Structure 1
């Protein structure tokens, strides 16, 4: 009788297994790369928790406009320049990218690997910051 149930409901069982796997993957990847925060939480971390803004965009993107007092280390250079961030290990770090999550996921993983515990990705990156009419400076 049990095998009949499985045969009759194989599609539902597979859907449940796949859904569970996707939830697990989402949880594991977010814990490695840091939590995602919106602009309101990012501003609170920066202003009230002495958070560091880490901009991992390319140089030309950074010079085109960046958050005031942000630290610029392109994502592909972060591993080599990690020592520049050592004094911020106990501070919240808000990672800024353009709009996609690829660079922040990798940056968050690198920071976590080096013992940074309070890593956050700005959801939507600098595009979201600008759409919220928050201040940026240009070099």
Structure 2
């Protein structure tokens, strides 16, 4: 009951804390690249020449990936970042399975000066919407 009394008495402080936490989460989310919807990703690829960086494991990549995706597993991106230098003038769309690794990879790429977006919902959402994938080539 003491906790509820505290919340009632200090509602302004609690509200400020919640607002600050929300602002922090949003800030951190955009530091790793703004999320891009499936529609935005197809537009970026088709009209702006964006490059998709698929960071899933090899088996997941070969089971189905976006056409012309560059495959670098999430654990190898730091040591293979030189392979991305030729795409520095383009938007890089980081795609993973469900969004669990795209944030840290996106943050690292942004720190290195890349324009980064993250595939919202990952490849799971891409597949759920029956969007085209290429199989093999891993």
Residue in 2 that maps onto 1:3: none
Q: Using structure 2 for the length normalisation, give the TM-score.
A: 0.88
Give distance in 1, aligned partners of 2:47 and 2:25: 29
Task: State the number of aligned residues.
Answer: 131
Change (3 A) 1:8 1:61: closer
- 1:9 is aligned to 9
TM-score for the superposition, normalised by structure 1? 0.88
Partner of 1:48: 47
C-alpha distance in 2 between matches for 1:49 and 1:15: 44
- Consecutive unaligned residues of structure 2, counting only runs of 5 or more, are 1-6
Q: Which aligned segments of 4 or more residues in structure 1 are displaced greater than 2 angstroms?
A: none
Secondary structure of 1:102's counterpart equals coil
**Structure 1 portions without partners, runs of 5+:** 1-6
* Offset of residue 19 of structure 1: 1.5
Give matches, 1:78-97, under 5 Å.
Answer: 78-97=77-96
How far does residue 14 in structure 1 lie from its aligned partner after superposition? 3.0
Residues of 1 paired with 2:41 and 2:128: CA distance?
14
**Shift of residue 61, structure 1, vs aligned partner:** 0.7
